[in-house]
Amino acid sequence: MSVKVEASHDGIPHNKVMAMGLILALVSLYIAVAGAYAGYDYLAFFGGIAAVGALIWGNSTIKKLCSYGIGTGVPSAGMLAFGSGVLAMLFAAKLAVINVFLVPIAGLIIALIVGLVLGWISNSVLNMKIPVMTRSIAELAAVGCVALMGLTVVATGHVAFSEITAFNLDIFGITVSFYDVSYIGAGLIAVSFMLGAIALQHPFNACLGPGEKQDRTNMLAIECGFLSMIVMAVISFAFVSLVAAWISLVIALIGWFVSYKKYFALSKRDAAAWLDAKPFSDAEE
């Protein structure tokens, strides 16, 4: 038996947040992929926007899942989401040999399937019996996959498996590929994994409590998304053109500064509402 403890009583319904986040993520991801396909890597920054959109969706999903009294499971939910997501992303990336535009939607579908299986195991095998568990784990897997794709595009400008497993260098007119210093070979995907997982689980974990407000928690998710994008933009200097890397870094810095300033203002707004709280009375001897 599970006991539901509401996280937020007001604000935008979860399904609407999910739709907005998913649309923003997929549209941005396809713009970035189309840019890479046409040879315009300066559109890689749209991958960061896609990651932010996915994190907004994921933040709402974590709130819905953890309202059933499993607040201590917030960090593990972030890790599970990106653990499932990285599997889906790598499988989908292989489909680029057929058509690179298949990758984002295929990754989303594969992640949902993986998440449904994991959700079923959690509820039916581990016997957690949480009403929204299966759907939430499926959503989180999809969020992890899309966010990872977005961060990968920021860093490399591509989502194709052949591009993220090879670092191409032109030597006297001959293109030579190196695996060891590629996005996958150098282990940079682990960096995006941790950046995304922390950005997913931190907002609700930080804002959890009786004063939790949807707009403040979502703003922290946006801020964390842009903060992760800054790191991936710095990494991108090794993989994309100098112009593309600078565009991604500048947009990430602006996005982070604006969202951080807004989050700080919302935090002060909510903190001020508690100034008239009574102090704890002295304990009786």
Q: What's the pLDDT score for residue 276?
A: 55
Q: What are phi and psi of 118, to 5 degrees?
A: -65, -35
The whole-number pLDDT of residue 10 equals 55
Q: Alpha carbon of 11 to those of 44, 133, 138, 216, 219: distances in Å?
A: 32, 22, 23, 11, 13
pLDDT digits (tens, 9 = 90+) for 86-116: 999 999 999 999 999 999 999 999 999 999 9
Check whether 5 has a pLDDT greater than 50. no
Beta strand 174-178 pairing with 167-171? antiparallel
Rg (CA), the chain: 20
Q: What is the pLDDT of residues 176-231, one digit of tens each?
A: 576 777 889 888 999 999 999 999 989 988 888 777 888 999 999 999 999 999 99
Q: For position 29, what pLDDT does the model report?
A: 95
Name the least confident of 9-13, 20-24, 160-164, 249-253: 9-13
pLDDT band of residue 2 (cuts 50, 70, 90) is very low
| 3-state class (DSSP) for residue 215 | helix
Full DSSP string of 116-160: HHHHHIIIIIS----TTHHHHHHHHHHHHHHHHHHHHHHHHS---
Evaluate if residue 117 carries a pLDDT over 80.
yes
Q: How confident is the model at residue 270 (pLDDT cuts 50, 70, 90)?
A: confident
- Segment 233-261 shows an average pLDDT of 95
CA distances to 5, 23, 84, 142, 151 from 139, in Å:
20, 14, 11, 5, 18
DSSP 8-51: -SSSS-HHHHHHHHHHHHHHHHHHHHHHHHHT-GGGTTHHHHHH
pLDDT confidence of residue 274: 55
Q: What's the chain's average pLDDT?
A: 85
Which two structure tokens, joined as six digits, stand for 148?
A: 């990872």
Q: In the block, which residue shows the tokens 């203002």?
A: 265
For 1-5, 55-59, 153-157, 258-262, which range has the lowest pLDDT when averaged over its residues?
1-5
User: What is the dihedral sign for C-alpha 137, 139, 145, 148?
Assistant: negative
SS3 at position 174: strand
